[in-house]
Structure 1
Amino acid sequence: MHDNVNVEDEVVGIARDLIRINTTNTGHHETSQGEREAADYVVDKLGEVGVETQIYESLPGRTNVVARLEGVDRSRPALLLHGHLDVVPAEADEWSVDPFAGEIKDGYLWGRGAVDMKDFDAMLIALIRHWKRNDIVPPRDLVFVFTADEEAGSIHGAWHLVREHPEIFNGVSEAVGEVGGFSMQINDDLRAYTVQTAEKGLDWMRLKAVGKPGHGSMVPDDNAVVRLARAVANVGEHRFPVEVTPAVQDFFDSIADHIGMRFDPEKPDEALAKIGPLARIVGATLRNTANPTRLDAGYKTNVIPSTAESVVDCRSLPGRSKELEETIRALIGEGIDIEYEVREPGVETTFDGPLVEAMAESIGHHDPGAITIPYMLSGGTDGKAFNSLGIRCFGFAPLQLPADLDFGALFHGIDERVPVDALQFGVQVMDRFVRRS
């Protein structure tokens, strides 16, 4: 069966549809929304071309979709291709467009999820539809997973599937998802595409101080708010030392000749200045980080509260989670308790093997002269859950981007958007890559 549907046009339409489904994940089940609607959309789109899907719900509305396409050589290990359907909240008043309208203007598709990560979801859906309509059989079994809850630690998504339904991943040896494949301009003559081979750990902490409650007009000898504020300030102002992990060293080794210098851990800013907008992401992978993001204390102006709490977004380098906690405990001092909201160690793999070679070949075919380079993601992905099953995980969602675009700022940022031609480029690269995987 063959048809005249253009996969490059269809991927844009699917991405628009997904953005228009508000799948905001607030971090609380009661207020999160839209994941079931988005999952139903995926099921319908795949069902139209005869692909059977399975739905797994961890809680009502927290919906995950799974499909498996049989390959030519079923004796080979399967490849997992995955994307999450939820997005972080967006304050419409801060945006220049409606964040859930899927508007196309100035050559970009705008909206929450445009790069994180409904663009890649759309690539996968468009590819499946294209292959089924044209009787294309992949070289090995492909497992497609569209998850819920990635933006709040993956508890109701990837971790639920891994813990409750591990049979989904039988025979899977490798996985490809976010965040990689985007281009960066090294110099006037060279464009490089990142491949995520590592990601930092999630160490989300809640700091809690307990003190004596009292009247706001009195002179207290113990104020939980003051103690917590001092601890939070110490954490927020601390700068962890630079530590060069293998993935980060591989990144700088890959581009050293092109930027005209080797990375010096004593002078990290010199090398970061040479890589343009990507410095925002790479700079965050040189050390552990801890950023206070929320404060909560009291209920009335004239009442000194008995408790005060703060949430700190900590990200640890692979193998450095314990070290990070020890530092935080030293910074906050006595009388502050730590509770973990999420604790998932960082993961790391090597930049080699046939899958990596297929990525490089596919990029080189569609962008002659370009290279692929490994890097570490400063954030987190569903890959941590899949890695727990022994699956080797990569981030590769190809996008050819304008040289001056600060891509890192678009993730969870205001006016999130993806170039339309980059989205079309990505689906072409993915088509070639998966056929050679």
Structure 2
Amino acid sequence: MPTTEPRNPQPTAADEVVDICRDLIRFDTSNYGDGSGPGERAAAEYTATLLSDVGLEPDVFESAPGRTSLAVRIEGADRSRPALVVHGHLDVVPAQADDWTVDPFAGHVDGDLLWGRGAVDMKDMDAMILSVVRQMAREGRKPARDVVLAMFADEEAGGTYGAHWAVDHKPEIFEGASEAISEVGGFSVTVAGRRAYLVQTAEKGLAWLRLVAEGRAGHGSQVTPDNAVTHLAEAVARIGRHTWPLELTPTVRALLEGVADLTGLPFDPYDEQGIDALVAALGPASRFVGATLRHTSNPTQLTAGYKANVVPGRAEAAVDGRFLPGREDEFRATIERLAGPHVRIEDIHRDVALEAPTTGSLVDAMTDALLAEDPGAAVLPYMLSGGTDNKSLSQLGITGYGFAPLRLPPDLDFAGMFHGVDERVSIDALKFGTRVLDRLLSTC
């Protein structure tokens, strides 16, 4: 009786996602913010090869030597609908190897955990996107509508050489796109014993500010009332100690109302202690959420002088400011008042705050995709205290959401993984994410 060799089945996204994520981690794409890092070219070329292997033809482009991004449009079943942008970034923040338990760029696997810089920010989502798109291409399946897949450089330094550059110089990539999904949303938290997935529908604005004080330079032994260091120090102290008032945007209000429903705790928008209790119920995610109740302004750098007995004529400080959607003018006016008349404020980097609708067809599709894989869970909107490349895409009228779906263990400090030491992600969470993302792209 003749025998036939069993056919090797095509690998699924769940089969590939760990290897792709591990490979991406092994590319050191550290972004130091000053152009001194290794850049993203090698990782972008690897990514382009993964796409070309399944018949896609990505456009690989550079904004500066080594600062490499790529994009490809995938034809959808209904081309009359606006396209969906699905984007990631290939750069990561630096990592000091001596601080880590493992080599941060080795892609170390230990049991159910994949360790390495970028494991959650955001080479995990990059790998999920790539593995899902490869599976769909191999199987001849189209997404529900056109998908613009993009992998950007430079997100960790504000996107000047990545998404911002692409929007300014290659806007045709995104022609006809109306919505986007990217990082830092769709992950689970455990609230009152029940899993809840947080879909990012808003993000704070970014204002990195330079404070400049100028005064009379002179000998350190003389009386110097016009002292630049004193002017600056007083301004920094006022800004750093300022208590910003509570302001609940629609997204934050919807989140807190949802947490109240899950926990049975009361929600009163004017009761700060009650709001703090609702935020605390989110566990590790309270780090993200707690910073979205108000503006923040953290002094981060100080520079002045060159010798102990010389009063400098100039002193500088940096402040990391994050403002709520629709409140930038009030934020800036307050910073100027706190800085005082002797301190000038200059922009280092500035970007918009975003607040997208918490309801609609895309939000419904994200919710349905999550609940199909995790029935009985809850899905809630939330605001990100940081920022994403959705800021850049908003300049083209594209509404962005954070949706990198991960089912996480309840005791994992997920918020602490971002830019932290010993960054790691669950392999089960990666595989879960591929299933959810496949459902989303097939139905939205």
What band does the TM-score fall into relative to the shorter chain?
over 0.9
Give the gaps of 5 or more residues in structure 2: 1-6
Give, in whole Å, the separation in 2 of the partners of 1:2 and 1:73. 32
Is 2:350 the counterpart of 1:343?
yes
How far residue 63 of structure 1 moved from its aligned partner, in angstroms, is: 1.2
Structure 1 distance, partners of 2:95, 2:318, is: 20
Runs of at least 4 residues off by over 4 Å: none
Cα contact 1:362–1:433 (8 A) shared by 2? yes
Q: Is residue 363–residue 371 contact of structure 1 (8 Å, CA) maintained in 2?
A: no
For the aligned residue pairs, the C-alpha RMSD in angstroms reads 1.6
Question: How big is the shift at 1:90?
Answer: 1.4
> Displacement of 1:408 after TM fit?
1.0
Give runs of aligned pairs for residues 302-321 of structure 1, distance below 5 A: 302-321=309-328
Q: Report if the CA contact (8 A) 2:259-2:281 is conserved.
A: no
Give per-residue Cα distances to partners, 1:45-104, cap 9 Å, x unaligned: 111112101022211111110011111111111111000111111122222211111111
Pair 1:27-2:10 in alignment: no
* SS of the residue 1:52 aligns to: coil
* One-letter amino acid matched to 2:117: R
- Aligned equivalents of 2:307, 2:49: Cα separation in 1: 51
- The answer to whether residue 160 in structure 2 is matched with residue 167 in structure 1 is no
Letter in 1 for 2:29: T
Q: Distance in 1 between matches of 2:161 and 2:8?
A: 38
Give the total of aligned pairs: 435
Alpha-carbon shift at residue 13 of structure 1 (Å): 0.7
Task: Indicate the residue corresponding to 1:204 in structure 2.
Answer: 208
Tell me by how many angstroms 1:305 deviates.
Answer: 2.1
| Cα offset, 1:214, TM superposition | 2.6
CA contact (8 A) 1:2 1:133 kept: no
TM-score, reference length from structure 2: 0.95
Name the residue aligned to 1:220: 224
1:433 is matched with which residue? 440
User: Following superposition of structure 1 onto structure 2, how do residues 243-282 of structure 1 map, counting pairs within 5 Å?
Assistant: 243-264=247-268, 265-267=270-272, 268-282=275-289
Task: Find the aligned partners of 1:405 and 1:40 in 2 and give their Cα distance.
Answer: 33
Indicate the residue corresponding to 2:369 in structure 1.
362
Name the residue aligned to 1:373.
380
- Cα distance in 1, alignment partners of residues 422 and 312 from structure 2: 39
Residue by residue over 1:305-337, the C-alpha shift from the partner in whole angstroms, topping out at 9 and shown as x without a partner, is 221111111000001111111111111111111
TM-score by length of 1: 0.96
2:203–2:383 CA contact under 8 A, matched in 1: yes
Give the corresponding residue for 2:72. 67
Distance 1:342 1:249 in 2: 29
Q: What is the match of residue 6 of structure 1?
A: 12
Q: Give, in whole Å, the separation in 2 of the partners of 1:192 and 1:431.
A: 20
Q: Distance in 1 between matches of 2:13 and 2:172?
A: 31
Tell me the percent identity.
53
- Tell me whether 252-261 or 10-19 shows the greater mean CA deviation: 252-261
Partner of 2:340: 333
Partner of 1:298 in structure 2? 305
Match of 1:233 in 2: 237
- Tell me the amino acid that sits aligned with residue 412 of structure 1: H
Q: Tell me, in whole angstroms, the C-alpha distance in 2 between the residues paired with 1:230 and 1:292.
A: 12
The aligned residue for residue 118 of structure 1 is 123
Distance in 2 of aligned mates of 1:396 and 1:46 = 21
Structure 1, unpaired ranges of 5+ = none
Q: Report the secondary structure of 2:71's partner residue.
A: strand
- Secondary structure of the 1:301 match is coil
- 2: CA distance, partners of 1:211 / 1:97: 49
- Contact (CA 8 Å) 1:21, 1:34: kept in 2 or not? no
Letter in 2 for 1:347: L
Structure 1 residue aligned with 2:23, among 3, 7, 17?
A: 17
Amino acid at match of 1:270: A
CA drift of 1:350 comes to 1.0
Instruction: Describe how 1:404-419 pairs up with structure 2 within 5 A.
Output: 404-419=411-426
Amino acid in structure 2 at the alignment position of 1:302: N
The answer to whether the 8 A contact 2:301-2:317 is kept is yes
